[in-house]
Structure 1
Amino acid sequence: MGKETRVAITLGDPAGVGPEVIVKALATFPRKERANFTVVGNIEALERAKRTTGVSLVFAATREEGAVLVEEVALEAPLPEIGKVSAAAGEASVRYICRAVEMAVAGEADCIVTAPINKEAMNLAGHHFDGHTGLLAHLTGSKSSFMLLASERLNTVHVSTHVSLRGAIERATVERVLATIEAGHDHFMRLGRKPRIAVAGLNPHCGENGLFGDEDMRFLAPAVELARKKGIDVSGPISADTVYARAYSGAFDLVVAQYHDQGHIPIKLIAFDTAVNVSLGLPIDRVSVDHGTAFDIAGTGKANHVNMLSAIAYARLMASSPRRAS
C-alpha cells in the first residue's frame, strides 16, 4: 500500500540531525522505490550527512535513475554549521517547509514528512511561530491545526501545545475542546476506524466537583456532551492520571490531552522511537518525526532513523486514505 505515493521530505534544521536521519532512512528503501521521494532542501547538506553516516546514495536536482531527487531551495547564506542554533539555519528550515507546502497544494506531492526544526532558530530568523503546527496552519490558510501523536498502542490529540501552562488553561474552551474531539474523530474515520475517544481532565481528579477548580465542569463536560450529540463515541472528562493507562490497555483509541506535557509525556514514555507527530485540520497531509534537532549528537552519525521510517509509513497511510467530505 502506498508504494506510488509521492512523499516530500523537508530537511528540517540543517544544523541538526534531520539530514542524517533522512539519508539513513532513504538508504533502507530499494533503489527503485526511492523514485517516490523528493527531499526538499539542499544537496550540499545531504552530501555532508552522507559523509557523516557512510550511507551510499546519489542525490540529483533533476530526476535521474537511481538518484534521490532533491528540490533545491535557495539560501541567502552558506550552509549553517552543524550543532549550533542560528538565524541562518532557522531561515533555511522555514524555506524548506514553505516549498514543500507549495508542492503539496499544487498536487506535486501527496504528503509531507518533516524533519525536526529548532523553534529558537526559527524565531531568530524572524518567523514567530510555535513550530511546525502554527507555521503550517498559516501557510495553508487554516483557522487552526491540531497536533496528534500517534503510536501503535496509544494516540493523543492536543487542545493546545506550545503555549505556557497558563495559556493552555485559557485555551481549554468549549469550542476548542469540541473542535479537537472532532478533528481526532474525523482523522480516525478517514483511516477506516470509528474511534473510542476519552477526554483527559484539566485539573487533578477533574476538579473533584469544583474542589480543585471548576474548568472541567464548565468547559470540558459541555464539549463532550456536544460531541456525543453529533454521534461521536466520546467519554469524559476522565482524570488524566488514569485515562492513559486505560487507553494503553485498550479501552480507548484516542485521548484528548488538554496541554503539551499531558499528552507528550505518556507517548514518549511508551513509544519514544516510533511515535509520530501528525497535523490535523490542514488541507494537506503532514507527518513528522517526534523528536528534536539533537544538536548534541548532530554530525556524529549516531542519530536513529527509526522514527523517520515511522513518519514515512504513517504519511503513506494517510495519503492512501481519501479525505471524507465535510
Structure 2
Amino acid sequence: MTGARTLLSTGDPNGIGPEIAVAAARAAGCAPVLVGDRAVVEWAVRVTGGTETVRGHRPGAAPEPGTLDLIDVGALPAGAHRPGTIDADAGRATLEYARTAIRAAIAGGYRAVVAAPHSETAVRAGGESFTGYPSLLAEVTGVPADRVFLLLVGGGLRIAHATLHQRLADAVAALDVDRIAAAGRALHRALGDLGVPGRIAVFGINPHAGEGGLFGDDDERVTAPAVARLRADGLPVDGPTGADVLLAANEHAGYVAAYHDQGHVPVKLLAGRTAVALSIGVGVPFCSVGHGTAFDLAGTGRADPAALVRALQTVDARREAVPA
C-alpha cells in the first residue's frame, strides 16, 4: 500500500460486517482504517481468530503490523451489541459509522470509503429514511439524491442504475431524460477512474426498447433523447437497446440500467456474492458489497470476506485519493 489510506465502515454491528471488516483488513493489503465501535471491533477480532491490537487512529499515522487502526465512533449504546438481531440501535449505529467515514473523507487525506453491509430494515427501525448507501452519500455531501447512482461491478459487467430501491412503477415514473443522461455521465467518469474507459450503452426501459412504440413510448420519450444528449456532449454511447441483446454480446465497458433488477440480476448471476457496489456521481469514492448482513452467520466467524476484500482492492486501484 502506498499513499492515502481507505476508510472501512464496519456496517451493521449485529450482522457479519464487523467480522468481514477485520478479516478483509488482514487480507486486502491496503491497511484500511476501520470506522466503528471499539468493543464491537475487538469482539470481531476474537471471533475471527485474530490477535490484532485495536488502536485509536491518528490522521497520517502509518499502519503497523499486528495492529488495526480504528476511528471509534461510540454510536452503539452499551449492551446493544446483539449479533444476529435486527435492531434499531444497530441501524442507527450503521449510518453513524458511514457518515463519520464520509465526513472524514470529505475533510481530506483518505483514498476512499468502503462500507460493510447494512440492513435497511434495521436502519428504518431506527427512524431513518434510507434507501441504500448512495442516498446516504447524497445526504452527507449535499449532492441531489437523483444524481448519485449505484454502479454494480462483477462477472465482467459494470452496470450503473438510474433508479434503485423503489417499486417498479415508481422507478419507471422517476425516469426522465436528465436522470438517464446524468447516470451515463457518472458511469463514463467512473470507468475512467477505474482504468477501463470505453463505450457505454443504455438499456431500454421496455422489452426491445419499446419496439418503435409497440410496447410503450417510454424509450422514445426518455432513453432515446438521453442517449442523443450524451452523444451531443461527445460521450461514446449506444442505445437504447434491449438489455438482453446488449448483455448477450457484452461489447461495452459499462451499461446504464433503468431499474434495480435490470442491473442486479445479470451481475449477481455471474459474480454471485463477490459483486461490489460503487456509489458514483459524487467526489467521494465510495464502495460497498453486493450482499447483505447475513444475520444468521453473525458471530460464527464463518462469513466470507471476499467481496469486501474486492471492494477495498477496487477503490485502492482508483487513480486518485480524495484531495486534502
Q: Shift of the alpha carbon at 1:109? A: 2.1
State yes or no: 1:40 paired with 2:38.
no
CA contact (8 A) 1:27 1:55 kept: no
Task: Determine the C-alpha separation between the residues in 1 that align with 2:56 and 2:320.
Answer: 30
Q: CA deviation at 1:172?
A: 1.8
| Structure 2 residue aligned with 1:57 | 52
Distance 1:309 1:228 in 2: 36
Which of residues 221, 229, 232 in structure 2 aligns to 1:229?
232
TM-score by length of 2: 0.92
Residues 3, 275 of structure 1: CA spacing in aligned structure 2 closer, same or farther, 3 A cutoff? farther
Report if the CA contact (8 A) 1:149-1:276 is conserved.
yes
CA–CA distance in 2 between the matches of 1:132 and 1:189? 22
Q: Is it true that 1:134 corresponds to 2:135 in the alignment? A: yes
Describe the superposition over 1:61-120 as per-residue Cα deviations: whole angstroms up to 9, x where unpaired.
256843111110122522420111111000111110111111101114221010011111
1:200–1:237: 8 Å Cα contact kept in structure 2? Answer: yes
**Counterpart Cα distance in 1 of 2:184 and 2:321:** 20
1:144-223 pair list within 5 angstroms: 144-151=147-154, 153-223=156-226
Unaligned runs of 5+ in 2: none
Q: Which residue number corresponds to residue 297 of structure 2? A: 297
Q: Are 1:104 and 1:112, in contact at CA under 8 Å, matched by a contact in 2? A: yes
User: Is the CA contact 1:159–1:180 (under 8 Å) kept in the aligned structure 2?
Assistant: yes
Matches of 1:243 and 1:51, distance apart in 2:
47
- Measured after TM superposition, the shift of residue 200 of structure 1 is 0.7
Between 1:65-74 and 1:4-13, the stretch displaced more is 65-74
The structural deviation recorded for 1:322 is 7.0
RMSD: 1.8
**Counterpart AA for 1:10:** S
> Residues of 2 paired with 1:287 and 1:82: CA distance?
24
SS of equivalent residue, structure 1 residue 7: strand
Counterparts of 2:230 and 2:76, CA distance in 1: 48
1:212 deviates by 1.3
- 8 Å contact kept, 2:40–2:81: no
Q: Sort the Cα spacing of 1:173 and 1:49 in 2 relative to 1 into closer, same or farther, 3 A.
A: same
TM-score (norm 1): 0.91
CA contact (8 A) 1:93 1:117 kept: yes
Greater shift, 80-89 or 46-55, is seen at 46-55
Matches of 1:276 and 1:29, distance apart in 2: 14
